[in-house]
Amino acid sequence: MSFTGTTRTTPSTLSRWLGYARSNPATVFCAGVLVIFLLIALFAPLLAGDPLKIDPAQRLRPPSDSAIWGRDHLGRDVFARAIYGTRVSMLVGFSVAILVTVLGVAIGIYAGLSTIGGAIVMRLADALMAIPAVLLAIAFASLMNAGLLTVIIAITIPEIPRMVRLVRSVVLGVRQQLHVTAAISIGTSGLALVWRHILPNTLGPVLVQATYACASAIIASAVLSFLGVGLSPEVPSWGGMMADARQQFRIHPVLMLYPGVLLSLLVLAVNILGDRLSDALDPRKARRSGL
Partner 1 sequence: MTSNPVLSVDMLSLEFRTSGQCVHALDKVSFSLARGETLSLVGESGCGKSVTAMAIMGLLPKNSARVTSGSIRLDGTNLIGLSERQMQTIRGNRIGMVFQDPMTSLNPVHTIGMQIAEAVRRHKHVSKKDAWARARQMLERVRIPDAANRLLAYPHELSGGQRQRVMIAIALACDPELLIADEPTTALDVTVQAQILELIGELKTELGMSVLLITHDLGVVAASADRMMVMYAGRIVEEGPVERVFARPSHGYTAGLLRSLPGHGAQRRGLLAEIGGTVPRLDKLVEGCVYAPRCAFAAGPCTAALPPPRQIEAGHRSACIRHEAVFGAMADNDIVRSWA
Contact between 177 and partner 1 by CB under 8 A: the answer reads: yes
Residues 223-262 within binding reach of partner 1 (CB under 8 A): none
CB of 51 to partner 1, least distance (A): 45
Contact between 130 and partner 1 by CB under 8 A: the answer reads: no
Indicate the residue among 108 and 230 with the shorter CB distance to partner 1: 108
Contact between 287 and partner 1 by CB under 8 A: the answer reads: yes
In the list 16, 22, 53, 196, the residue contacting partner 1 (rule: CB under 8 A) is 196
Contact between 53 and partner 1 by CB under 8 A: the answer reads: no
Would you call 271 helix, strand, or coil by DSSP?
A: helix
- Strand locations in the chain, DSSP E? none
Contact between 188 and partner 1 by CB under 8 A: the answer reads: yes
Measuring CA to CA, which residue among 276, 162, 164, 155 is closest to residue 219?
Answer: 155
Report the alpha-carbon distance of residue 83 to residue 43 in Å, rounded. 9
Q: Which segment (100-108, 186-194, 211-219, 271-279) binds partner 1 by CB under 8 A?
A: 186-194
Report the alpha-carbon distance of residue 45 to residue 68 in Å, rounded. 16
Indicate the residue among 203 and 227 with the shorter CB distance to partner 1: 203
Helix, strand, coil percentages (3-state) for the chain, rounded to 5, are: 75, 0, 25
CB 245 within 8 A of CB 92: no
Positive/negative CA dihedral, 156, 161, 162, 164: positive
In the list 9, 10, 145, 185, the residue contacting partner 1 (rule: CB under 8 A) is 185
Q: Which segment (76-84, 98-106, 199-207, 266-274) binds partner 1 by CB under 8 A?
A: 199-207
Measuring CA to CA, which residue among 126, 161, 155 is closest to residue 141?
Answer: 155
Residues with Cβ within 8 Å of 35's Cβ and at least 6 positions away in sequence, in order, are none
Positive/negative CA dihedral, 89, 95, 98, 99: negative
Report the alpha-carbon distance of residue 210 to residue 217 in Å, rounded. 10
CB of 196 to partner 1, least distance (A): 7
Contact between 284 and partner 1 by CB under 8 A: the answer reads: yes
Contact between 184 and partner 1 by CB under 8 A: the answer reads: yes
CB of 3 to partner 1, least distance (A): 6
The binding track of 79-118 with respect to partner 1, each residue x by CB under 8 A or -, is ------------------------------------x---
Name the residues that contact partner 1, by CB under 8 A.
Answer: 1, 3-5, 7-8, 115, 177-179, 181-189, 192, 196-197, 200-201, 203, 283-284, 287
